[in-house]
């Protein structure tokens, strides 16, 4: 591993810990040349996932794109970044559990909404309004009514 400071090729591992719910190893390293300490992450290289868009185009699955959508929907809401990252982790895990290399974008959106509805109802409605592209107010109101009904059931 090259030192980010002096670019020397040899470093030694000082500490190793699990990270990202056991899917990665975080290593603290020290350069043998200049003594600079830095962190590296080691994770399993997984096969690429292709997302089939609504228009039929295919693109590689991008965790950051899903996270950006969550951040926008949870703007000015009491949702921690860690919670949004956990949603992305859970969604990616569900996708990979399917064992397929291609997945429709619609299914990814459904997985995100299943996680988000339990976390923050306003963020859920924001995400759903963009994802489902509500055509008129009646569809939007139906979605709101579904949330109200679920809340009533949970309180019983």
- Pick the more confident residue, 154 or 82: 82
Q: Are 144 and 86 in contact (CB under 8 A)?
A: no
Residue of 124, 122, 92, 121 whose CA lies nearest to 107? 92
Mean pLDDT of 17-27: 87
134 has a pLDDT exceeding 70: no
4 has a pLDDT exceeding 80: yes
Q: H helices within the chain, ranges in order? A: 63-73, 81-97, 105-116, 121-131, 137-155
**pLDDT tens-digit map of 25-39:** 999 999 999 999 999
Residue 130 pLDDT level (bands cut at 50, 70, 90): confident
- How many residues can be counted in the chain? 156
Mean pLDDT of 129-134: 74
Q: What is the pLDDT of residue 25?
A: 94
């Amino acid at each position: 591993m090259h030192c980010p400071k002096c670019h020397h090729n040899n470093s030694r591992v000082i500490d190793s810990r699990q990270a990202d719910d056991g899917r990665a190893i975080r290593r603290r390293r020290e350069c043998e040349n200049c003594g600079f300490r830095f962190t590296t992450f080691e994770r399993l290289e997984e096969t690429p996932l292709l997302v089939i868009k609504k228009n039929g185009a295919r693109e590689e699955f991008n965790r950051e794109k899903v996270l950006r959508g969550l951040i926008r929907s949870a703007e000015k809401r009491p949702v921690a970044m860690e919670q949004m990252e956990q949603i992305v982790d859970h969604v990616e895990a569900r996708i990979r559990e399917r064992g397929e290399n291609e997945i429709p974008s619609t299914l990814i959106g459904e997985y995100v909404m299943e996680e988000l509805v339990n976390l923050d109802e306003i963020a859920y409605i924001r995400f759903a309004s963009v994802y489902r592209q509500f055509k008129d107010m009646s569809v939007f109101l139906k979605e709101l009514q579904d949330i109200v009904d679920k809340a009533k059931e949970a309180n019983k």
